[in-house]
Amino acid sequence: MDHPQADEEAEAIRAAPRPPVPQAQAKFVTGSTMRHVVVMTSTGSIGLMAVFAVDLINLWYISHLGDTVATAAVGYASTILFMTTSVCIGIMISAGALCSRALGGRNRPLARRFAASTMVWMLVVTTGVALCSFPFIRPILAGLGATGRTLDLATIYLQITTPTVILIGIGVGFSGVLRAVGDARRAMYVTLSGAIVAAILDPVFILWLGLGVEGAACVVVFSRAALALLGWYGAVRVHGLVARLSIRDALADFIPIIGIAGPAVLANLATPVANSYMTAVLAPFGDGAVAGNAVTGRLVAFCFGGIFSLSGVVGPIFGQNYGAGRLDRVRRTLTDAFIFTTIYALVMWAVLAAGHHGVVRLFNIVDPEAARLIEFFCLFVAGSWIFHGLLFVANASFNNLGFPIASTIFNWGKTTLGTIPFALAGATLWGAEGALAGQGLGAVLFGVIGVWWAYRSLRRLKGPKVGPAPARAASD
């Protein structure tokens, strides 16, 4: 028996308009460039600080066990984790740059395809990093100077956390896509989720269950899983800005992706390599010096998170305006980013200098060598991060405006010529504090040169550079 009314209702349901897929807009090509810099960097820094806050929270709880060896072990392990995280951030920069250029040129299908292709390569690279590094964890730590029980604890920590480089790669990759579309708030929530999980679970695993270093490593696994899940939800489910993953598209897009990701990864690796070198330089001064350096390293990552985030979050502002042919706004963005970075670093330096005694008490530092190193950093060496920051901004412009090789050269120049001779000379003449001072002096030199070279590079820009059109429609 036919039911005309039911048929009419079914037809009306089929004909009803469906909610449209959110359309990405190039929001950075209009409005105040300083406002875009402040909003994107502020939210981005909160997000990236949240990533590093996981290590900071771990170290804080470990330090309250009253075991300098355990604190030093986490310091050694965190040096390696920072290196793998930097690889992921380098690939994230490629995702943000390519997607933002495509959106600036009003080519949403190309942006979706670039996002998907970049995520394929993120999975390939992070899986390779995990598989290749896992068998060599103990030799690497020993090469940095870890010995005895410190070496044993650091090895256990890395054996648990190294496979999760895949998870953090997924999370930061999707956060780069969110920043490319201008959703700074959701990108911040993605990375903030990891810190929230760590803050909740660290006291449970480290203190209440008494698992110590092993518990801290387990918390890293859970925090990175949360990062990956929320990143996928924002980029894929909310914005629909990631096409279906395709090996064929990823291979076809390899050249534009590696053109940015390759130099960006190499550039980002320079900082953790420099940190590894500093750990090796300080190792002869004992576990106290290494523990103090571990605390200063986490302070840098947390307090100066805005500087670390610049290469990822300011990049889309450069990319969209470059893609739209607004070279005047590109230059204004660069200047505004330099101004913002300088003010931000000065404020952080003032806070650390004013609270240097409090930092030592906060981390329950009882070793006198560790305490002296932390206080010296807060009072003097933290000021060098003004120039680290200026170079990070310059590198962001290089990565997103077609000069990625310059970013690699400057970062590795700072890591080698700006770190090794200065730190070695400082350690020889004035001990552990002299090593930190030498590293800071090298940063001043390369920061000044980086600013000059960034403006020089802008004069060479001719017009927009969006990238090749896709050979076929992006997969849905």
In this predicted model, what pLDDT tens digit does every residue of 398-440 receive, in sequence order? 877 878 788 888 988 998 999 999 999 999 999 999 999 999 9
Q: Are 319 and 100 in contact (CB under 8 A)?
A: yes
Cα 113 to Cα 26, 258, 285, 466: the distances in Å are 17, 15, 51, 13
Query: How would you class 393 by CB atoms within 10 Å of its CB: exposed for 0-12, middle for 13-18, buried for 19 or more?
Result: buried
Query: How would you class 424 by CB atoms within 10 Å of its CB: exposed for 0-12, middle for 13-18, buried for 19 or more?
Result: middle
- The span from the CA of 246 to the CA of 407, in Å, is 30
- Predicted TM-score (pTM) above 0.85: no
Give the number of other CB atoms < 10 A from CB of residue 287: 27
- The span from the CA of 326 to the CA of 318, in Å, is 9
Identify the pLDDT of residue 166: 93
Q: Are 426 and 437 in contact (CB under 8 A)?
A: yes
Q: Which residue would you say has higher pLDDT here, 133 or 467?
A: 133
Q: Is the dihedral of CA 220, 80, 384, 262 positive or negative?
A: negative
Complete DSSP assignment for 122-180? HHHHHHHHHHHHGGGHHHHHHHHT--HHHHHHHHHHHHHHGGGHHHHHHHHHHHHHHHH
Report the length, in residues, of the chain.
476
Identify the pLDDT of residue 424: 93
Q: Are 198 and 161 in contact (CB under 8 A)?
A: no
Nearest to 205 by CA among 196, 218, 224: 218
Query: Would you say residue 466 has pLDDT above 80?
Result: no
- The span from the CA of 76 to the CA of 98, in Å, is 35
Identify the pLDDT of residue 44: 65
DSSP 30: S
- The span from the CA of 344 to the CA of 189, in Å, is 22
DSSP SS3 for 470: coil
- The span from the CA of 442 to the CA of 454, in Å, is 18
For the chain, the farthest-separated pair of C-alpha atoms sits apart, in whole angstroms, at 98
- Structure-block tokens of residue 274: 């420099």
**Cα 80 from chain centroid (whole Å):** 14
- The span from the CA of 187 to the CA of 311, in Å, is 15
Identify the pLDDT of residue 464: 52
* Placement of tokens 């909160």 in the chain: 46
Nearest to 146 by CA among 68, 249, 77, 82: 77
- The span from the CA of 292 to the CA of 459, in Å, is 44
Identify the pLDDT of residue 16: 43
DSSP SS3 for 241: coil
For 3-13, letters b (16+ CB in 10 Å) and e give eeeeeeeeeee
- The span from the CA of 298 to the CA of 79, in Å, is 10
Tens-place pLDDT, residues 288-314: 888 888 788 778 877 887 777 776 678
Q: Are 99 and 181 in contact (CB under 8 A)?
A: yes
Confidence grade of residue 51 (pLDDT, cut at 50, 70, 90):
low
Give the amino acid at 362.
Answer: L
Give the number of other CB atoms < 10 A from CB of residue 380: 16
Mean per-residue pLDDT for 369-392?
Answer: 93
* Placement of tokens 């053109």 in the chain: 259
DSSP SS3 for 424: helix
Tens-place pLDDT, residues 316-368: 788 788 878 888 898 999 999 999 999 999 999 999 999 998 888 888 777 88
Confidence grade of residue 47 (pLDDT, cut at 50, 70, 90):
low
Mean per-residue pLDDT for 84-98?
Answer: 84
Query: Would you say residue 191 has pLDDT above 80?
Result: no
- The span from the CA of 36 to the CA of 43, in Å, is 11
